[in-house]
């Protein structure tokens, strides 16, 4: 029955797409003075203005009905209860438990582990934690990749301006030695602490970099027994950490997915560089968004609306790109973070039952900071034939907001791009009578965007924003009927890479591969691989 209902609702949506989805947004504003107000939602200090989307109340209510039919209520309840929602791995996805306040825990070990992070952060920041020559730690180098890198890197760099004391943070993910070499340049091994982050502690890139970092420390004169003064591991695999030779470990659980893990011990670099108060504020913002997401009905639910707008754009308007453009230099890592969060979660084409997905799923997520992006691909967004949605992320103030003139430019540029995408410019508004020139200058407009506004770029609002996107991804997965919490596609490449390391070292077995790969193995081997 639910399936029939869903089919019917998809038909309704496609039908609306032909009218509402092609209607002029400018005209919709002209005939509805309350559009901006009605299509704006606030939650945990974050504002979502989606009035520049090509939809109306009828489309929204059809989307809400579809989400209900697809089991939104039950799925949301299951996620908050810590039930198994990651079916293919038989696990919960209980990241909401990680940001609960200590006086209202869902799972006490989360708070015990948080206390250990606090102890480490306090010891390092106060200077009590000393390197092998007895000096305080000045630099923390975080080694991890994917979900064990994006989150702490994004937050630490986004809030770097609020850092008043404590060690400097550096992040290394790439197995290309250039990454670690660049991070270590100018650092003193005797005052450097490595935080090796890996849920599995089997990720080849992370282990290779950790071994190289250890060699760098030993080459400075430290002994094997000094290693523990310079290495902390964050993992859920205590055995592998012990095998590596690291004694100090903070842990987390198999129900914390890598891309949802920054709220766990994986956030240690944030606490080290910015202090535990900042990490606590981040968690508090995310928790406030969780409370909103858990209790708000669909019509008022900010993350759910973000998701259903995405479903409308992807499935009804046929958009294949979602462009993320933060108008804050400090959020330069946000598009990369959201790429993993969205595409590793929902880049799938089979349903939880193993059937081919009946509807298109994840669009490509890409983007970079405004205003720079305006001087790169915005030309295509305004006049190209690829219709894309843009998520503008606009902190109204940042810790750098001291130069009023440049701040106004930052804000104005963001608003201008959204306005230009929607309003466009007709040939008769171009100032040219020459039809060819007028056509070249005209912008079609009616191009959709969301505006996500933060009153200020601080830990609380950043936490709320990131949690909103996590829940958005979850709701998209519910509507598409896919498991947002596994990543089997990534595994195949990892397995093949392992074999290829051996085959490049000894190309005798190259012929076991396809012709192209075999020939590339030979080339790599000849080049000294
Ligand atoms: O990229 C694939 C992935 O499995 C991610 O899900 C994860 O965040 C990343 O690898 C790192 O894994 P680990 O934390 O186990 O090193």
Kindly state whether residue 200 falls inside one of the protein's structural domains: yes
Report yes or no on whether pTM surpasses 0.95.
Answer: yes
SS3 letters for 244-267?
HCCCCEEECCCCCCHHHCCCCHHH
Model pLDDT, residue 163: 80
DSSP state of 434: S
Q: Could you give the C-alpha distances from 465 to 155, 332, 397, 410, in angstroms and in order?
A: 11, 15, 15, 20
Sheet holding 40-43, edge to edge: 40-43, 46-49, 449-454, 389-395, 321-326, 364-366
Contact at 8 Å (CB) between 400 and 161?
yes
Q: Which of 225, 247, 279 is the last residue of a domain?
A: 279
Nearest to 142 by CA among 209, 97, 228, 79: 209
Kindly state whether residue 261 falls inside one of the protein's structural domains: yes
Kindly state whether residue 97 falls inside one of the protein's structural domains: no
Kindly state whether residue 125 falls inside one of the protein's structural domains: yes
Ligand 1 site, residue 203, Cβ cutoff 6 A: yes
Kindly state whether residue 134 falls inside one of the protein's structural domains: yes
Q: What's the CA gap between 269 and 375, in Å, rounded? A: 33
Asked if residue 107 and residue 75 are part of one domain, the reply reads no
Q: Copy the structure tokens of residue 93.
A: 């996805």
Kindly state whether residue 108 falls inside one of the protein's structural domains: yes
Q: What's the CA gap between 54 and 184, in Å, rounded? A: 49
Q: What's the CA gap between 179 and 147, in Å, rounded? A: 17
Q: What are phi and psi of 232, to 5 degrees?
A: -125, 140
Contact at 8 Å (CB) between 131 and 190?
yes
Contact at 8 Å (CB) between 256 and 199?
yes
DSSP string covering 309-365: HHHIIIIIS---EEEEEES-GGGTTHHHHHHIIIIIHH---B-TTSSBPSS--PPEE
CA dihedral sign of residues 113, 205, 256, 240 = negative
DSSP state of 204: H
Nearest to 398 by CA among 455, 450, 333: 455
């190259």: which residue's tokens? 510
DSSP state of 445: -
Contact at 8 Å (CB) between 49 and 39?
yes
Asked if residue 20 and residue 137 are part of one domain, the reply reads no
Asked if residue 447 and residue 345 are part of one domain, the reply reads yes
- Ligand 1 mean position, distance from CA 176 (Å): 17
Contact at 8 Å (CB) between 55 and 39?
no
């071994």: which residue's tokens? 211
Model pLDDT, residue 165: 87
Q: What's the CA gap between 265 and 17, in Å, rounded? A: 45
- Ligand 1 mean position, distance from CA 365 (Å): 19
Burial class (CB in 10 A: 0-12, 13-18, 19+), 128: exposed
Model pLDDT, residue 1: 57
- Ligand 1 mean position, distance from CA 93 (Å): 15
Asked if residue 503 and residue 437 are part of one domain, the reply reads no
Q: What is the mean pLDDT of each run of 10 residues along the chain (529 residues)?
A: 83 97 97 97 98 98 97 98 97 98 95 97 97 98 98 97 90 98 98 98 97 98 96 97 96 97 98 97 98 98 98 98 98 98 98 97 98 97 97 93 92 98 97 96 98 98 99 98 96 92 93 95 88
292's CB contacts (< 8 A; 6+ apart) are: 43, 44, 301, 302, 303
Task: Name the domain count of the chain.
Answer: 3
Asked if residue 170 and residue 273 are part of one domain, the reply reads yes
424's CB contacts (< 8 A; 6+ apart) are: 382, 442, 443, 444, 445, 446, 447
Asked if residue 512 and residue 380 are part of one domain, the reply reads no
Nearest-atom number in ligand 1 for the CA of 261 is 8
Beta bridge partners of 394: 453
Q: What is the CATH number of the domain that holds 309?
A: 3.40.50.10490
Asked if residue 456 and residue 331 are part of one domain, the reply reads yes
Asked if residue 301 and residue 241 are part of one domain, the reply reads no
Nearest-atom number in ligand 1 for the CA of 144 is 16
Nearest-atom number in ligand 1 for the CA of 150 is 8
Contact at 8 Å (CB) between 472 and 450?
no
Q: What are phi and psi of 246, to 5 degrees?
A: -105, 125
Kindly state whether residue 36 falls inside one of the protein's structural domains: no
- Ligand 1 mean position, distance from CA 394 (Å): 29
CA dihedral sign of residues 392, 295, 297, 90 = positive
Contact at 8 Å (CB) between 151 and 204?
no
């609960």: which residue's tokens? 100
Asked if residue 130 and residue 6 are part of one domain, the reply reads no
Ligand 1 site, residue 198, Cβ cutoff 6 A: yes
Model pLDDT, residue 299: 98
Cβ count within 10 A of residue 209: 26
Q: Of 113, 157, 205, 344, which is the active-site residue?
A: 344
Q: Of 14, 15, 211, 494, which is the active-site residue?
A: 494
Asked if residue 255 and residue 147 are part of one domain, the reply reads yes
Asked if residue 453 and residue 317 are part of one domain, the reply reads yes
Q: Which of 279, 305, 322 is the last residue of a domain?
A: 279
Q: What are phi and psi of 528, to 5 degrees?
A: 110, 5
Q: How many helices (H) and strands (E) does the chain have?
A: 21, 13
Asked if residue 381 and residue 469 are part of one domain, the reply reads yes
Q: What's the CA gap between 55 and 64, in Å, rounded? A: 13
Our answer to whether residue 375 is catalytic in this structure is yes
Q: Which of 279, 314, 330 is the last residue of a domain?
A: 279
Q: Copy the structure tokens of residue 145.
A: 């990749």
Q: Could you give the C-alpha distances from 184 to 14, 180, 205, in angstroms and in order?
A: 55, 6, 17
Indicate left, alpha or beta for 421 from its phi (over 0: left) and psi (-120 to 50: alpha): alpha
Contact at 8 Å (CB) between 293 and 471?
yes
Kindly state whether residue 399 falls inside one of the protein's structural domains: yes
Nearest-atom number in ligand 1 for the CA of 487 is 6
Q: Copy the structure tokens of residue 152.
A: 């702490």
Q: Domain residues for 515?
A: 488-526
Ligand 1 site, residue 461, Cβ cutoff 6 A: no
Q: What's the CA gap between 264 and 492, in Å, rounded? A: 27
Q: Copy the structure tokens of residue 12.
A: 């309704």
Model pLDDT, residue 162: 82
């Amino acid at each position: 029955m639910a399936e029939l209902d869903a089919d019917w609702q998809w038909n309704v949506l496609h039908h609306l797409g032909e009218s509402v989805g092609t209607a002029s947004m400018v005209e919709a504003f002209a005939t509805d003075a309350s559009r901006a107000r009605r299509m704006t939602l606030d939650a945990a200090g974050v504002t979502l203005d989606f009035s520049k989307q090509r939809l109306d109340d009828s489309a929204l209510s059809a989307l809400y009905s579809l989400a209900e039919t697809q089991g939104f209520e039950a799925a949301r309840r299951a996620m908050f209860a810590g039930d198994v929602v990651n079916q293919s791995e038989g696990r919960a996805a209980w990241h909401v438990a990680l940001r609960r306040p200590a006086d209202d825990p869902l799972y006490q070990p989360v708070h015990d582990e948080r206390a250990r992070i606090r102890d480490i952060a306090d010891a390092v920041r106060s200077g009590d934690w000393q390197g092998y020559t007895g000096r305080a730690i000045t630099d923390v180098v975080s080694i991890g990749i994917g979900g064990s890198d994006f989150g702490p890197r994004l937050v630490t760099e986004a809030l770097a301006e609020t850092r008043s004391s404590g060690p400097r943070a550096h992040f290394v993910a790439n197995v290309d030695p250039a990454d670690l070499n660049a991070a270590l340049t100018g650092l003193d091994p005797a005052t450097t602490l490595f935080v090796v982050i890996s849920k599995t502690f089997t990720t080849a890139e992370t282990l290779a970099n950790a071994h190289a970092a250890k060699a760098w420390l030993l080459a400075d004169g430290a002994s094997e027994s000094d290693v523990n003064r310079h290495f902390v591991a964050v993992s859920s695999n205590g055995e592998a950490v012990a095998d590596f030779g690291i004694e100090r470990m903070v842990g987390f659980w198999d129900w914390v997915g890598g891309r949802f893990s920054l709220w766990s011990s994986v956030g240690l670099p944030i606490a080290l560089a910015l202090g535990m108060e900042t990490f606590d504020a981040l968690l508090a913002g995310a928790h406030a968004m969780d409370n909103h997401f858990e209790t708000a009905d669909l019509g008022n639910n900010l993350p759910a609306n973000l998701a259903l707008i995405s479903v409308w754009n992807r499935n009804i308007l046929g958009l294949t790109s979602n462009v993320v453009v933060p108008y804050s230099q400090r959020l330069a890592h946000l598009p990369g973070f959201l790429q993993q969060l969205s595409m590793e979660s929902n880049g799938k084409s089979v349903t939880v039952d193993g059937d081919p997905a009946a509807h298109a799923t994840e669009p490509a997520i890409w983007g970079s900071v405004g205003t720079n992006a305006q001087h790169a691909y915005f030309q295509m967004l305004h006049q190209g034939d690829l219709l894309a949605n843009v998520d503008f992320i606009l902190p109204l103030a940042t810790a750098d907001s001291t130069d009023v003139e440049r701040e106004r430019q930052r804000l104005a540029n963001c608003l201008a791009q959204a306005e230009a995408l929607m309003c466009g410019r007709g040939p008769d508004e171009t100032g040219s009578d020459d039809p060819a020139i007028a056509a070249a200058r005209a912008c079609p407009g009616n191009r959709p965007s969301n505006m996500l506004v933060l009153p200020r770029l601080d830990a609380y609002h950043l936490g709320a924003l990131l949690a909103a996107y996590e829940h958005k991804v979850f709701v998209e997965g519910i509507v598409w009927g896919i498991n947002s919490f596994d990543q089997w596609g990534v595994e195949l490449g990892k397995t093949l890479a392992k074999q290829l390391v051996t085959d490049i070292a000894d190309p005798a077995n190259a012929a076991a591969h396809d012709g192209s790969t075999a020939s590339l193995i030979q080339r790599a081997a000849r080049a000294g691989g």
